[in-house]
Structure 1
Amino acid sequence: MADGRMPGGVPGARAGVIRHGRQRTSRAWATVLAVLASAVAVVLVSGVSVAAIAAWDLSRSVQPLIVLPPADTDHPDAPPPQIGAYEGGINLLLIGSDSRQGQGTAFGDPEEETGELNDVNILLHISADHSNATVVSFPRDLFVDIPECTNADGDSTGPATDKINTALFYGGVPCAVATIEDLTGLTIPFVAEVQFLGVIAMSNAVGGVPVCVSDRIEDEYTGTYLDPGMHDLSGVDALQFLRTRHGVGDGSDLSRIGNQQVFLSSLVRTVKSSETLGDPFKLYGLAKAALDNMRFSESLANLDTMVSIAIALKDIPEQNIAFVQYPGSVTVEGVYQNEESAAVLFDAIAADQPVLPTGSTGLGSTLGLGGPDEVPVDPAAPVDPAAPVDPAAPVDPAAPVDPAAPPADAGAPVAALPDDVLGQTADEVTCSNGRTLEEQ
């Protein structure tokens, strides 16, 4: 595993593909940023009568703001001049803090291990033409270079080489942002921070998220016990599913990330479904749950800006939304970067290319019940003319050509990622690869 690749026979492996693996004490938060922004947008731009009330009420819900230092960026802090019209791509960082202050005792002793750690770091990139999005999860034990930062006491800290989840300790959210900017080479003007209760409220707002379990999950640390099959998860059950690591894959943080992507891809499909998009009250509830339970950077705490980002997201096809993990090699000390593979990933993101994970879904998940590999295609089924075309799909020379059809827009070429950049697309129905107490 010196090169960070999984051995053969990894559950969920596609032909010639690979994905995620490991972690520590079970805490992890929802990575629902794209969906939340989309919910805010649909509520605020819909023609239903609840929209005006939602805009007023949501504006009162915004939590205290995160102040970031001025940055040399093409993204202005002010609302965009035209909603939905952005110059260049959009980069937004979601941080999950391990603090349990104000979260009650349901998630463990609030006096225990409540240091300032950014245990979840998820970067959302939307391409400039709004045709694709990439969601990158960073393993919490990933060793990175932390730049010089300023802590809450005004003292200078760093630079240092440390695990990425310590950046919050070195200098709060601005330090976490600076660390990931240095790591990826991207400018990140938008930031949101979420804790335990936010996950519960948001999963409740959509009426639960259906997840597939391929093998029984047993985790006595989070109290997660799920049999194989489909489960609708909401509330504390959804949170604990996202937090579990002992009960999936090899019990590592990387396995937990793969398991989280099972939930996230299903959440995207749930929110983009007619049952959610057609229910303004459900959308409003989702948006309000986000704003009630998240802190935003000053650049993001503006309803026009949220709507603008959401509009850029809401029409992206599910197959063009990729969930990937920052590539790394697991050791007993932590996770070390696979820099060459990471460079391929972030070069593609910087170029606004759609990315295609070519590895497996990793140890935490597997292609399973209802997955794309198991759904036969009916050749007699009518073709949706609005459906995006897979540029890698073979062309039938005998197929009739519509002379009135506009020429196809090839768009940016799809970037095939190295096998150790693990992940999946939102349209892939994957299942959690559970493990029992006897296997732990």
Structure 2
Amino acid sequence: MTELIRDRALRSLPTAQIRHGRLPRPHWWKTLLTVVGAALSVVLVSGTALAGIVAWRFAENIDQDVLVDAEGNVRAIPAVGDWPGGFNIMVSALDNAEGQFDGADRGTTVLNDANLLVHVAEDQQSAVVISIPRDLIVPIPSCPEADGEGFYSAMSAQQFNVAYSYGGMNCVVLTAEALTGLTIDYSATISLEGVAAMSTAVGGVDICVTEPIFDRYTGLDLPTAGTHTVEGFQAMQFLRTRYGVGDGSDFSRIGSQQQYMASLIRKLQDEGTLTNPGALYGIAQVATQNMRLSSGLTSLDTMVSMARVLADIPRENIIFVQYPATTNAEGRAIPIASEADVLFSKILNGERFTLADDPTGNGTTIDPNAPQPEPSAEPEPAPTSDAGEETPAPTVSDEPTASPDAPTGPEALDFGRGQTAAQATCSVAN
């Protein structure tokens, strides 16, 4: 049975606070495209020997979106090498996309069902992937119509997942910009069938559950606790389930999606997929048939550079975090403005941060059976003299040491819910 459709807007609810800010234009040929679920992390292509055939194949297969600003002007995408710093990209998995297998049961409205805002830091050494709940109540700004001949009126107190139905991906991007204060230069969409195809293309993704799960809405059936390799339709079921995990909310479902994405990036790194031109080319063929990219992402040079950087980025520097929100009496997600202000202030100011020791929330938990990180290398033995006697230890420096009260690293956000790509987690069955 497919998941039931819920009401998508409550106009009487309070309006979310808007924060404003702009990022420097990014130098994306040297930057990281971090994991974006089963979407962009597997569309990357590497290897100059394949450049000609891949470029032709991409031009032949990829559907493109042309992003515009609030006035309807096409966003300028500078050439390779013109941008310093970080960048932002919006990725949405569509519910009820054209031709979806259960479209006859879901009406005609296309929704942006799962939404990831990927931010790459100015120093290009870390990234944050923000999951925006689909039923987060937000204002939707005036959005250009798909034919470019007019604008939809601005609306207040709408669920975030209806933005696509008012102007396509342009409206999703404009809504996310108003919500976060970030400038978004790239976008990508993928259908539910595309998610299934991509999971198969990478050979499946390992996920973990604390207890058996059967969700009658999505049909997900995982009969045992522990690790399962999901691909194809089952991977899609896992990513969509909400009533089978945690408290049945979208927050719990986001936890499962974050677990999946972290496991995916570990798999791609461990197997060397991102530095294997042949493997990437096969995946890219599947990707181009199942995704729609903004025009700035269809450059082969961009994809090659992103793949090379992604192969080496430290997993602990990739943070998945939920947009700060709580649930109201009607079961909708409401932004927590004070926490969102802290989160996006750090992102806009280039301040690195971490999450609490166990930030997973009610949908996932740290996997107690996961392998522990490898211990640090043993210290070198003390050098000896020719006579076999131990050389005296070097004199301690007279330089002043750091104050005990001095900061020792990035601030931990105790309100943040999510995980890093280095952490292995399990979905909590309900």
User: Normalising by the residue count of structure 1, what TM-score does the alignment of the two structures yield?
Assistant: 0.76
Residue from 284, 289, 294 that aligns with 2:291: 294
- Secondary structure of 1:102's aligned partner: coil
Q: 1:25 to 1:423 in 2, by over 3 A?
A: farther
- After TM superposition, give the deviation of residue 167 of structure 1 in Å: 1.5
- The Cα of 1:35 is off from its aligned counterpart by 7.4
Whether the 8 Å contact between 1:37 and 1:309 is mirrored in structure 2 is no
> What is the aligned counterpart of 2:121 among 114, 122, 127?
127
Deviation of the 1:225 alpha carbon: 1.4
State whether structure 2 residue 36 is matched by structure 1 residue 33.
yes
Confirm whether residue 363 of structure 1 aligns to residue 362 of structure 2.
yes
- Residues 151 and 171 of structure 1 are in contact (CA less than 8 Å); yes or no, is this contact kept in structure 2? yes
Shift, 1:413, TM fit: 5.3
- Aligned residue number for residue 346 of structure 1: 344
Aligned residue for 1:19? none
Q: Per the alignment, in what secondary structure is the counterpart of residue 79 of structure 2?
A: coil
Deviation at 1:287, TM superposition (A): 2.4
Which residue of 382, 402, 414 maps to 2:410? 414
Alignment of 1:193 onto 2:189: yes
Unaligned runs of 5+ in 2: 7-33, 381-392, 396-407
Once residues 282 and 37 of structure 2 are traced to their aligned partners in structure 1, the CA distance between those partners, rounded to angstroms, is 16
- How far apart are the structure 1 equivalents of 2:103 and 2:156? 30
Relative to structure 1, the CA distance from residue 415 to residue 181 in structure 2 (aligned partners, 3 Å threshold; closer, same or farther) is farther
Displacement of 1:36:
5.6
State the 1:202 CA deviation. 1.2
Question: Aligned residue pairs: how many?
Answer: 373
Cα shift at 1:218 = 1.3
Distance 1:204 1:251, change over 3 A: same
Residue in 2 aligned with 1:141? 135
CA positional deviation for 1:272: 1.1
Cα displacement (A) at 1:183: 0.8
Residue identity in the other structure for 2:142: E
Match of 2:384 in 1: none
Superposed, 1:60-139 pairs within 5 Å as 60-69=60-69, 76-81=76-81, 86-103=83-100, 105=101, 108-139=102-133
Q: Please, what is the CA RMSD of the aligned residues? A: 3.2
What is the SS of the residue equivalent to 2:210?
strand
**SS of equivalent residue, structure 1 residue 88:** coil
Identify the range of structure 1 (361-370 vs 125-134) with the bigger mean alpha-carbon deviation.
361-370
Is residue 272 of structure 1 aligned with residue 269 of structure 2? yes
SS at match of 2:63: coil
Aligned to 2:405: none
Identity %: 41
Q: 1:259 aligns with which of 253, 256, 259?
A: 256
Shift, 1:376, TM fit: 7.2
Q: 1:316 aligns with which of 313, 317, 323?
A: 313
The answer as to 2:135 corresponding to 1:151 is no
- What residue is the counterpart of 2:199 in the other structure? 203
Instruction: Note if contact 2:85-2:122 (Cα within 8 Å) is conserved in structure 1.
Output: yes
CA offsets 1:140-174 (integer angstroms, 9 cap, x no match): 11111211223347343123221111212233221
The whole-number CA distance in structure 2 between the counterparts of 1:261 and 1:188 is 21
Residues 94 and 36 of structure 1: CA distance in aligned 2, closer, same or farther (over 3 Å): closer
Structure 1 unaligned residues grouped into runs of 5+: 1-22, 384-398, 402-411, 436-440
The C-alpha deviation readout for 1:189-240, integer Å capped at 9, x for no partner, is: 1011111121112111111111111121110111111111111111111111
Q: CA deviation at 1:301?
A: 2.3
Q: TM-score of the superposition, structure 2-length normalised?
A: 0.78
| Aligned counterpart, 2:429 | 434
Measured against aligned partners, the alpha-carbon deviations of 1:334-358 in whole angstroms (never above 9, x if no partner) come to 1111111111111111122333121
Task: Map 1:327-346 onto structure 2 (within 5 A).
Answer: 327-333=324-330, 334-346=332-344
Counterpart code for 1:163: Q
Verify the 8 A CA contact 1:214 1:433 in the aligned structure 2. Answer: yes
Query: Hey, what's the Cα distance between the residues in 1 that align with 2:313 and 2:394?
Result: 28
The whole-number CA distance in structure 1 between the counterparts of 2:186 and 2:151 is: 25
